[in-house]
Structure 1
Amino acid sequence: MATHSSSSPILCASFNQDYSCFVIGTRDGFRIFDTNTGRLCYERVLGAFIIVEMLFSSSLLAIVGAGEQPSLSPRRLCLFNTTTGAALRELNFLTSILAIRMNRKRLIVILQDKAYVYDLNSLTILDTIDTVPNIKGLCAFSPCLDACYLALPASTTKGSALLYNVMDHHLHCEIEAHRAPLAAMVLSSNGMYIATASEQGTMVRVYVVSDATKSFSFRRGSYPSTIYSLSFGPSKQLPDILAASSSSGSVHLFTLGFAAHQSRSRRPSGFLGSIMPGAVTEALDPADHHVLHNAVPAGVKSYAIIRKVENVTDTSTSEVLACRAIMSIITYNGYFQEYNISIDAQNELSWTLGREFNLLNVKALSS
């Protein structure tokens, strides 16, 4: 993922694990918002932050300073309690922290050439993973405890990813996804799927984590653009939609579960036939790829997630008639956008901007 511009008012942005809240870090401090209402829930003016990660809807934050103030070193991780307004613990490292990930039992710290796995409750270090130079701090993490995987780049010259099981402390597999180095990757919340994009930016691929097999390939276009973010829609099995934001200002939507429902009749019978494309090594039909053109200004870094998905079915036949979704986008020039998306039975996309507001102008409600 591209680093922030020096002119960007937002230095970092992240959603919590169930997308109910999101956090932004600025040069003044950090702010927590309720995703459903847009309400500013918490604000702390402490200085510049480059990493702010929230643990579900709890009061625990993992924060890392940008180094613009002496007390906020980029080599120091602070676990911060928003209820008391105090630091719980601090961890110091020899080099800058590039990424943090958490679930209810694990804390992941990504440095340029190492990844550390901690027990979140005791902060006991459980594993140290040596990595290839990873100057962007690229990683993917599934918060699910049953399939708790960490994905890291395996090469600086090609698009390979290593997947570690951080609950059982072992290397699970290596996936050779692209010829060019990785630019973005994301694991589904249930840990079953991983999506990857390379620096070339023309292909997005999805793999089944359990056996490292390719499920879907999508061609975004013939011209390259930087992929800023990848995000799976929420699902207990096959995610319904995959979203990709890019430097062109467009957001690409790839229908996964919905496409499988629509094509079920021409695919193999049985469970796998009901959720997988017939030819898993080929790109899906172009009809399964939709583009929201000019969703955000071109060149502005953005973070798009699909936070709600529902299938509209015919009650008499159980046939899927449409897929409806809500997509939320944080732009690093300081805005939150929410789009209402509908994909009908003919795979035609319609979308409307539901709301938009400036993240830096929102005022906290008086208690």
Structure 2
Amino acid sequence: MAKESCSSSSTRILCASFNQDNSGFCIGTKEGFKIFDSQTGRLCFERAIGGFSIVEMLFSTSLLSIVGAGEQPSLSPRRLCLFNTITGTALRELNFLTSILAVRVNKKRLVVLLQDKTYIYDLNSLAILDTIDTVLNTKGLCAFSPNMDGCYLALPASTTKGSVLVYNVMELNTHCEIDAHRSPLAAIVLSSNGMYMATASEQGTIVRVHLVSQATEQSYSFRRGTYPSTIYSLSFGPSLQLPDILVATSSSGSMHVFSLASLINQRSKRSSTLLGSMFPDTVNDALEPSHHHVLHNAVPTGVKSYTMVRSVEKSSEELSTSQISTLRASISIITYSGYFLEYSLGINHLNEPSWTLEREFNLLTVLKEDVTNAK
């Protein structure tokens, strides 16, 4: 577990995000913002000019979308600045009537979320392409898939239940609306290819995965735990098709890894049995623990965290007459008390997990020349 100072540190992280291909990540603090290389942990860029509540990268380019935290008059939470890290200057600014709660970007679109409106811009011209009137979304909850062929934006569609509006950002139309949970949403994520969406409600006991193209018909359910817990973040493993795993972090301090491939295989086998066919698939999924692995005390209890599955590798072992796949994943976690942790997860042919903390360092004190590959 991270050897963290208390989460109420005077210099804490205000925001954290990975770029679209997970090659880099950035944080915003009360002092400024920093950009890191995901592979090495090297600090690539920093600017100490005041507090920032939003910092978003555009892949590995020099373009940043930044929003001030409002603690300095010049850094208004109502102003979006497109910033060039090479020149150190602002390229364009967009001003709004209320605070900006989230920003998402890909090579053609810029998405800006306010508490009851979402604006879609052409990134090159900054012309407004569409405005979406939304339900009250004070947390700026959203998910975005940057893939051009499946470029979806997911937004809460209700304040009383866990409904999700899925909007096609490239075609500028509503794709569908999904009733995912009975309680309001707490977390949403889309796979990088836009094919899959995972959701969790404020109850936090069940995590669901939806196939976006058939979202109203097909979903998979995982039970995180029996007692309520706040889901802080969800992350799919990178994949061109079905992601191998889905990872969740929560206020319990545990990291949960759900195996999608395992669940789908078991559902297929179960549907052929008499007892399995008598229960809805979503109920059977949630009751089956073999596709769920937990690392307790991955981060301190109650400390907000943001996770990302950086890589997944699979290999096959031939045992008697069957071929069994084994898996190894690299999972990064940023804690809002200021630490970066990288875990390695191995799952063998017996479905037994093994965890290793590969790297851990303080994001707030690291210097540009530091080499941060030690625990």
Shorter chain as normaliser: what TM range? over 0.9
SS of 1:283 mapped into structure 2: helix
* Residue 167, structure 1, aligned to residue 170, structure 2: yes
Answer yes or no: is the 8 Å Cα contact 2:9–2:337 preserved in 1. Answer: no
Aligned partner (choices 171, 174, 197) of residue 194 of structure 1: 197
Aligned partner (choices 315, 323, 330) of residue 334 of structure 2: 330
Deviation at 1:319, TM superposition (A): 2.6
Q: In structure 1, what is the equivalent of residue 285 of structure 2?
A: 283
Gaps of 5+ in 1: 270-277
Deviation at 1:305, TM superposition (A): 1.1
Deviation at 1:279, TM superposition (A): 3.7
Deviation at 1:304, TM superposition (A): 1.0
Deviation at 1:321, TM superposition (A): 2.9
Gaps of 5+ in 2: 1-6, 273-279, 371-375
Q: In structure 2, what is the equivalent of residue 239 of structure 1?
A: 243
Aligned partner (choices 347, 360, 366) of residue 343 of structure 1: 347
Aligned residues: 354
Q: In structure 2, what is the equivalent of residue 274 of structure 1?
A: none
Please provide the CA RMSD for this pair: 2.0
> In 1, distance between residues paired with 2:318 and 2:62?
42
Q: In structure 1, what is the equivalent of residue 306 of structure 2?
A: 303
Specify the code of the residue in structure 1 equivalent to 2:208: R
Q: Bigger shift: 4-13 or 128-137?
A: 4-13
Change beyond 3 A, Cα 1:315–1:82 = farther
Report the TM-score, using the length of structure 2 for normalisation.
0.90
Deviation at 1:66, TM superposition (A): 0.3
Deviation at 1:153, TM superposition (A): 0.3
> In 2, distance between residues paired with 1:174 and 1:361?
44
Deviation at 1:102, TM superposition (A): 0.6
> In 1, distance between residues paired with 2:189 and 2:268?
30
Deviation at 1:137, TM superposition (A): 0.3
Report the TM-score, using the length of structure 1 for normalisation.
0.92
Q: In structure 1, what is the equivalent of residue 79 of structure 2?
A: 76
Aligned partner (choices 90, 94, 98) of residue 97 of structure 2: 94
Specify the code of the residue in structure 1 equivalent to 2:201: S
> In 2, distance between residues paired with 1:360 and 1:318?
49
Q: Deviation per CA, 1:248-295, whole angstroms, max 9, x where unpaired?
A: 10011101125546x5983789xxxxxxxx946642521101111000
Change beyond 3 A, Cα 1:325–1:196 = same
Answer yes or no: is the 8 Å Cα contact 2:267–2:285 preserved in 1. Answer: no
Deviation at 1:331, TM superposition (A): 0.4
Runs of 4+ in structure 1 over 4 Å off: 4-8, 258-261, 315-318
Change beyond 3 A, Cα 1:244–1:26 = same
Answer yes or no: is the 8 Å Cα contact 1:216–1:281 preserved in 2. Answer: no
> In 2, distance between residues paired with 1:345 and 1:237?
22
Deviation at 1:365, TM superposition (A): 2.7
> In 2, distance between residues paired with 1:208 and 1:30?
36
Deviation at 1:185, TM superposition (A): 0.4
Report matched runs for 1:4-15 at 5 Å.
Answer: 7=10, 9-15=12-18
Q: In structure 2, what is the equivalent of residue 85 of structure 1?
A: 88
Q: In structure 1, what is the equivalent of residue 325 of structure 2?
A: 321
Aligned partner (choices 24, 41, 45) of residue 42 of structure 1: 45
Specify the code of the residue in structure 1 equivalent to 2:254: S
Deviation at 1:313, TM superposition (A): 1.1
Deviation at 1:161, TM superposition (A): 0.3
